[in-house]
Amino acid sequence: MDDIHQFSEIDLVSQPNSALHHGMGSGSSHIPDGTVPSWDVLLTRVGSQRDKQAFALLYEHFAPRLKSFLLRLGTDIGVAEEIAQEAMVMVWRRAETYDPRQAGASTWIFTIARNKRIDRIRRDNRPLPDFTDPAFSQDADEPGDIVLQRRQEEDKVQSALKKLPQEQAKMILSAYYEEKSHREIAEESGLPLGTVKSRIRLALNRLRSNLEEIER
């Protein structure tokens, strides 16, 4: 799906049909001329068939509406354009995870844009790290036995992580090493927030069991 990066962001915003033709998958469209299926159907076709024309219709309809929605929330016009574009890129990438039984296409797409805006605000408001803080420097006077004990504990955790299924290990790393929120993980994985929380709990239980086995 990384083929979406083969065309420029300007092309995606100003010429979605041309950009899609050159940069998005190889799926062909099965939409008869002069007809516009429901947004749910179009989004499902993007997910199941990588349908470029279906995505173009979604883009042309939703991209300006997402921008207007973001502007009404007080977002700067330039940032609103960027977030709207990022949201539609995410729609293309995650369309296969869309379930029309859980939400309509409009709700699903606008939720992606809202979460993108929240992520942007959180990132912009995050303070820069203070590299003069002693926490960023090694403590040369730390006793050798303490250093050894810490390394042994880290090795145990790494061994326990390797025994987890790849998806569970990735969620643990995202939540506890990369310090991502459950909502961020849900958006990146395309899974419902409740599913992410339950899978992280399951992964932690398995990780705890693996550590207990290693320490026996």
- Do the domain assignments include residue 132? no
Contact 11, 19 (CB under 8 A): yes
Pair 98, 29 in one domain: yes
Query: Can you give the pTM of this predicted structure?
Result: 0.48
The per-residue DSSP string of 82-93 comes to HHHHHHHHHHHH
Rounded CA-CA distance 117/15 in Å is 24
pLDDT at 150: 63
pLDDT tens sequence across 25-79: 334 444 444 455 699 999 999 999 999 999 999 999 999 999 999 999 888 888 8
Residues 72 and 158 in one domain: no
96 and 161 assigned to the same domain: no
Question: How far apart are the C-alpha atoms of 132 and 139, rounded to whole Å?
Answer: 14
- Measured between alpha carbons, how far is 149 from 175 in angstroms, rounded to an integer? 24
Cβ atoms of 95 and 132 within 8 Å: the answer is no
